[in-house]
Structure 1
């Protein structure tokens, strides 16, 4: 059995697709750990135990391709209110995190 150039190209695309999905899940899990750590430091509780991806944007930083991802999450400080937060990541590096104003 011989592989054509098209077959090799399709196999390569499949491998790249799997690698991109794998990286996405690694960044998402790392981001969730960052959010949980920051919530613990501020004394607030992360609601739903999850983050939601809102957008991503490809960028080049120092000649390297990076993806800036933005995730939203909900938290509470008193147990009765629901407030929104947002975290931005460039690759595995946290760029910023924002918590909506909330009572302490």
Structure 2
């Protein structure tokens, strides 16, 4: 069996794609854990136990290529209202978290 340059390139591209997907899920799980911790700290209840991505953009930070991701989630303080929250990550670092004004 002989591999051509095209075969080798395709294998490399598929490998890189799988690594990117794996990294995405790793960051997403880490972000979900951070949101749950912050909600518990503020005595809020995270609804649906999930986050969803609303934005991502590759950027350079400190001379390194990183991906800026923004995830949204829903939470409640009293059990009656549904409020929107947002967390922003730069690579594996949390840069910002926002909770919509809510009733206590």
Q: TM-score range by the shorter chain?
A: over 0.9
Q: Which residue of 1 aligns with 2:97?
A: 97
Could you tell me which runs of 5 or more consecutive residues in structure 1 were left unpaired when the two chains were aligned: none
Distance 2:16 2:97 in 1: 30
- Give RMSD over aligned pairs: 0.4
Q: Which residue of 1 aligns with 2:41?
A: 41
The TM-score normalised by the length of structure 1 is 0.99
- Corresponding residue SS for 2:101: coil
- Corresponding residue SS for 1:30: helix
- Corresponding residue SS for 1:26: helix
- Corresponding residue SS for 1:56: strand
Q: Which residue of 2 aligns with 1:24?
A: 24
1:103: Cα distance to partner? Answer: 1.0
Moved over 2 A (4+): none
- Pairs aligned (count): 104
Distance 2:12 2:55 in 1: 26
Larger % of strand: which?
A: 2
Spell out, residue by residue over 1:55-79, the C-alpha distance to the aligned partner (whole angstroms, 9 max, x if none): 1011001110000000000000000
Q: Which residue of 2 aligns with 1:57?
A: 57
The TM-score normalised by the length of structure 2 is 0.99
